[in-house]
Amino acid sequence: MIDLENLNINLTQEERATLEGSQGPTMQKVMETVVLYGEALRAEKLVDIEGDGHFVIPWCTPGVAPSLEMLDELAEAGLKTKYPFTLDPHAPIDFNNLGLSKDVEEKIEEMYQDQNRYDERMLQLGLRDWEAYTCNPYQPEVGNIPRIGTIVAWSESSCAVFANSVLGARTDRNGAIMDLLVNIVGKTPLVDLLTDEGRRASWLIEVKTELLPNPQLLGAAIGARVVADVPYIVGLGHFLGAELNPETLDYLQEMGAACATYGAVGLFHVENITPEAVEQGRDLLLPGHSSQIIDDKALQELFDNYPVLWSESEAEPEKCFIGCPHLSMNQLTWWVNKIDKALQSRGKDRLAIETVIFISPQLLHKFELDEKKYRRLIKAGVKLSASCSETIYETGLYSGKPVLTNSNKLRAYTSARFFPDEELLEILVTGEVKRDS
């Protein structure tokens, strides 16, 4: 039981009463967890959460989710999040779309045998609806788009960094399980990225490249350099322009996902583009900030030094996973058009490598309505899935397989081999990875 007399964090009477059990023993335990969390972060106090949540706990598998026993305990106590929430993508149980071998399918069935029960618990605890499962929840089709300045408590590192940086909302990088618990309490510690001071940049990153750099490589370079600090990035404006149009949103989403994977970046500012940078400019930079130039050479070296983690490094690629995080409509359309054009130019009908593109359920429904584009993609041999490519590797049976990806995030967590989009497209059409790649 928490020692209420020796807390540094300032609690309201109502919060203290909850800690003393006024809302029952389960809520007392939830509150104790949240208060200890605030203490550990040296928070002055807890503040109210003001909008829908997004959490990184969609799967029932141990190690990436709260245990079913814990969810049962919360649900039986009648607890629910203050606002509805969305979740990361579904487990890969849509086998028709994935082309997995029998042993992998059997393993997945075994791993996710409790998924239905888990999903029911999530609905009881505040999940928005049965299809609220995507790692790109701020697409218009999904609609979890907190407004500028809104305090939320999100997890999923790629979503938290996007919410902070591009939407201008305020969230800390909450961990799995704590995401759910703070949203049940409806309060989150006032620290770091929720504060004006915590949102200032301690790094000036100057991008000096000849062309617009690949966002996933740039993000990885930035993340590895600044780790958990806030970078102020200059040098992208003359490539991207000043408007947050769909292409820029996609670029920043990919970059942010990589920043968060290779470091612990929860917020970045891009000069003249992201909302706080537009409003405050270089006043966001802290005195004595560090500086780093990232150029073409640095990015090429980064890419060249990625190890090939396939069991047989020279193997013919067997599969390609595109979309980690889930693609937007704009990105999906890019792939549809590019695949079509590339196949036509070579007089081919189908890609040489089995390819799965991962998108949200909402986008999948929308895309299916565009029959012409949908049929073009399917005819090219591409399948669409609303699940998560990374979770296929959690079976333990995919490690080392010759899989390609356009996602530097997927590369970080698996043995999939990353290529930038244009280069990957060439490989998908020809079936060949160049020896010096």
Partner 1 sequence: MLPRQIKGEVLVTHKGFNAYASFAASLHDGVEEARCSDSSNKELYGKNLTDKIICLSKTIGSTSAGAVWQRVVKLGIAPKAMLFSQQIDSLAAAGLIVADLWGGKRICTIDQLGKKFLESMNNGIQVLIREDGTVEIQ
Q: What does the binding site for partner 1 look like in residue numbers (CB under 8 A)?
A: 29, 32-33, 36-37, 40-42, 56-57, 61-67, 70, 155-157, 160, 172-179, 181, 191-192, 223, 227-228, 260-264, 307, 309, 393-394, 396, 399, 412-413
Q: Report in angstroms how near the CB of residue 219 gets to partner 1 at its nearest.
A: 13
Q: Report in angstroms how near the CB of residue 4 gets to partner 1 at its nearest.
A: 16
Closer of 194 and 204 to partner 1 (Cβ): 194
Place of tokens 């996007």: 162
> How far apart are the C-alpha atoms of 146 and 270, rounded to whole Å?
19
Q: Report in angstroms how near the CB of residue 383 gets to partner 1 at its nearest.
A: 25
Q: Report in angstroms how near the CB of residue 70 gets to partner 1 at its nearest.
A: 6
Q: Report in angstroms how near the CB of residue 41 gets to partner 1 at its nearest.
A: 6
Closer of 111 and 377 to partner 1 (Cβ): 111
Closer of 363 and 412 to partner 1 (Cβ): 412
Q: What is the largest CA-CA distance in the chain?
A: 76
Q: Report in angstroms how near the CB of residue 413 gets to partner 1 at its nearest.
A: 6
Closer of 36 and 242 to partner 1 (Cβ): 36
Q: Report in angstroms how near the CB of residue 354 gets to partner 1 at its nearest.
A: 24
Q: Report in angstroms how near the CB of residue 66 gets to partner 1 at its nearest.
A: 7
DSSP E strands in 2-112: the ranges are: 46-48, 53-55, 85-87
Place of tokens 């060249």: 304
Per-residue tokens: 381 = 């041999």
> How far apart are the C-alpha atoms of 276 and 169, rounded to whole Å?
10
> How far apart are the C-alpha atoms of 401 and 309, rounded to whole Å?
9
Q: What is the 3-state secondary structure (H, E, C) of 324-377?
A: EEEECHHHHHHHHHHHHHHHHHCCCCCCCCEEEEEECHHHHHHHHHCHHHHHHH
> How far apart are the C-alpha atoms of 48 and 186, rounded to whole Å?
6
Ramachandran angles phi, psi of 69, nearest 5°: -60, -40
Closer of 159 and 343 to partner 1 (Cβ): 159
Handedness of CA 194, 195, 196, 201 (dihedral sign): negative
**Which residue from 143, 138, 125 is spatially nearest to 58, judged by alpha carbons?**
125
Closer of 355 and 387 to partner 1 (Cβ): 387
Closer of 15 and 271 to partner 1 (Cβ): 15
**Which residue from 427, 417, 394, 391 is spatially nearest to 309, judged by alpha carbons?**
417
Per-residue tokens: 113 = 């045998």
Q: Report in angstroms how near the CB of residue 16 gets to partner 1 at its nearest.
A: 18
Contacts of 264 (CB under 8 A, 6+ apart): 157, 173, 223, 227, 228
Q: Which residues pair with 48 in a beta bridge?
A: 187
Strands 354-359 and 319-327: parallel
Closer of 400 and 431 to partner 1 (Cβ): 400
Closer of 36 and 378 to partner 1 (Cβ): 36
